Amino acid sequence: MAHDFTPLQNDRILRAARGQTVDRPPMWVMRQAGRYLPEYHEAKGQHDFFECCRSPEIASTLTLQPIDRYDGFIDAAIIFSDILVIPQAMGMEVQMVDKVGPQFPNPLRSPQDQQYADVLGKDVDVKEELDYVYKAITLTRQKLKGRVPLIGFCGAPWTLLCYMVEGGGTKMFRWAKTWVYEYGAESKKLLQKISEICVEYLVLQVEAGAQMLQVFDSWAGELTPTAFEEFSLPFLRYISKHTKERLKERGLEVVPMTVFAKGAWYALEQLCESEYETVGLDWLHDPAEAMRIAKGRVTLQGNADPGILYGSDESVTKLVEGMVKGFGGGKERWIVNLGHGITPGVDPEKLKHFFEEVVRCTRSSVAKRAS
Ligand SMILES: Cc1c2[nH]c(c1CCC(=O)O)Cc1[nH]c(c(CCC(=O)O)c1C)Cc1[nH]c(c(CCC(=O)O)c1C)Cc1[nH]c(c(C)c1CCC(=O)O)C2
């Protein structure tokens, strides 16, 4: 299905992801459509979270809110959805409980559970089950009218496995660790199954209008370097390789891809060799050190501590100055972002100050390039 969308007016992020020159580093923020915005609560009203994801009208409205508010600063929209729509498509029930987070009433506790065989055996119709996401993407592209590119996304297999076996957020990772350290072979079967669904899901998001893709491995940092190499990295690589192959086969644009493996600072070298154009960094990375490791092979994305937005304007300025310097002053392959999602309770004006300071601090590099 080919769409007739308005041509793109701001391709900064796509150019930066591909290592091409830009007039200033592109900026966006993970979870930019969310609870820190009063207009989010207003538009969401009494609707359940997943109801918002399933309504293309509401999802597209929420996606556009930060684009309107930070017009001229934000260089990408990310479709309003959640990584947990994949476990739902695989037949698992997930609820979003207010002030608690996601809850699975029946988590996958062991490979002996009938549910494990059911989940592995289910022939998931990724087109049909997640049709509402594609519809939301297409509608959002229409509403964006080419202002900025639209990012599609999915959860990484390891992070999704964690949620499926833990049944929600956790500090202990008791069940996830039981799976990898006691049921290693069974874990890999599940990770492979999730990976195949991710590939199809990402390709269908591009077909619907997504212009860039991000894979969120939010719980990568719970693994040891060795366990990450065994239980996460191969599946992240499977996703980039096969998504690109499938996009080519289907005559779709091979869009830039980002991998964000939170906490996996030790794996930066390997992530630079994983067929992703962009590698997301959390705030535990020193930007200059990350640049030395990346050696211009990929575009780095990040990495301000989201907590800085609870601080004073002066603290934000100081952090931005250091971050800009660390990432090469704005002349190198860099997409500005936080090191994780923006959190509730942040004053939206503080984020504006953050953007303004990045623009101010990178202006000289732009002037230098033009001269
Ligand atoms: C781990 C994860 C989830 N979801 C996601 C991740 C990966 C990124 C990360 O590590 O933060 C990804 C996600 N979730 C959401 C988006 C939308 C797009 C955007 O970034 O603006 C994206 C990209 C909306 C959301 N997803 C959720 C909300 C809040 C829902 C609400 O209460 O209104 C939003 C706006 C709920 C959610 N969804 C999830 C959790 C743990 C929670 C509850 C806790 C929390 O909010 O941080 C799972």
DSSP calls for 198-243? HHHHHHHHHHHT--EEEEEETTGGGS-HHHHHHHTHHHHHHHHHHH
The C-alpha torsion from 182 through 186 and 190 to 196, rounded to 10°, is: 130
Class of residue 249 by CB neighbours under 10 A (exposed 0-12, middle 13-18, buried 19+)? exposed
How do the domains of the chain map onto residue ranges? 12-370
Which pLDDT does position 2 carry in this prediction?
A: 75
Please say whether the beta carbons of 8 and 351 come within 8 A.
no
Tokens of 153: 């996304």
Distance CA 61, CA 52 (A): 10
Q: Give CA–CA dist 147/128, Å, rounded.
A: 29
Q: Which burial class, exposed, middle or buried, applies to 6 when counting CB atoms under 10 A from its CB (0-12, 13-18, 19+)? A: exposed
Ligand 1 close to Cβ of residue 124 (< 6 A): no
pLDDT tens digits along 29-53 = 999 999 999 999 999 999 999 999 9
Ligand 1 pocket, 31 CB below 6 A? yes
Nearest atom (ligand 1) to Cα of 344: 46
Residue 216 Cβ contacting ligand 1 at under 6 Å: yes
Distance separating alpha carbons of residues 283 and 304, to the nearest angstrom: 6
Does position 209 have pLDDT exceeding 60, yes or no?
Answer: yes
Question: Among 36, 67, 83, 201, which residue has the most ligand 1 atoms within 8 Å of its CB, making it the best to mutate?
Answer: 83
Asked if pLDDT for residue 304 goes beyond 70, the answer is: yes
Q: Is the pLDDT of residue 371 over 50?
A: no
Q: For tokens 């996601």, what's the residue?
A: 102
Ligand 1 pocket member 257 (CB < 6 A):
no
Q: Could you tell me the distance, in angstroms and rounded to a whole number, from the CA of residue 294 to the centre of ligand 1?
A: 28
Cα 82 to averaged position of ligand 1 atoms, centre (Å): 6
Question: Given a cut of 60, is residue 367 above it in pLDDT?
Answer: no
What 3-state DSSP class applies to 78? strand
Q: Kindly tell me if the per-residue pLDDT of 148 is higher than 60.
A: yes
Phi, psi angle pair for 80, to nearest 5°: -75, 110
Instruction: Determine whether the shortest distance from the Cβ of 220 to ligand 1 is under 6 A.
Output: no
CA distance 91 to 86: 9
Ligand 1 atom closest to the CA of 214, numbered from 1? 23
Residue of minimum CA distance from atom 30 in ligand 1: 49
pLDDT (mean) for 131-136: 98
Beta partners for 257? Answer: 213
Q: How confident is the model at residue 58 (pLDDT cuts 50, 70, 90)?
A: very high
**CB of residue 32 inside a 6 A radius of ligand 1:** yes
Region 207-236: what's the mean pLDDT? 98
Point out which residues pair with 258 in neighbouring strands. 214, 278
Q: Is the CB of 83 under 6 A from ligand 1?
A: yes
pLDDT tens, position by position, 330-350: 999 999 999 999 999 999 999
Is the CB of residue 78 below 6 angstroms from any atom belonging to ligand 1?
Answer: yes
The per-residue pLDDT for 1 is: 61
Q: Which CATH class is domain 12-370?
A: alpha beta
**Residue in 235, 249, 237 with CA at minimum distance from that of residue 206:** 249
pLDDT of residue 64: 98
Report whether residue 65 contacts ligand 1, using a CB cutoff of 6 Å.
no
Q: Is 28 in the pocket of ligand 1 (CB under 6 A)?
A: no
Closest ligand 1 atom to residue 262 Cα is 10
So what's the pLDDT on residue 190?
98
Query: Is 127 a residue whose pLDDT tops 60?
Result: yes
What percent of the chain is modeled with pLDDT above 70?
Answer: 98
CA distances from 171 to 163, 222, 303, 342 (A): 12, 10, 23, 20
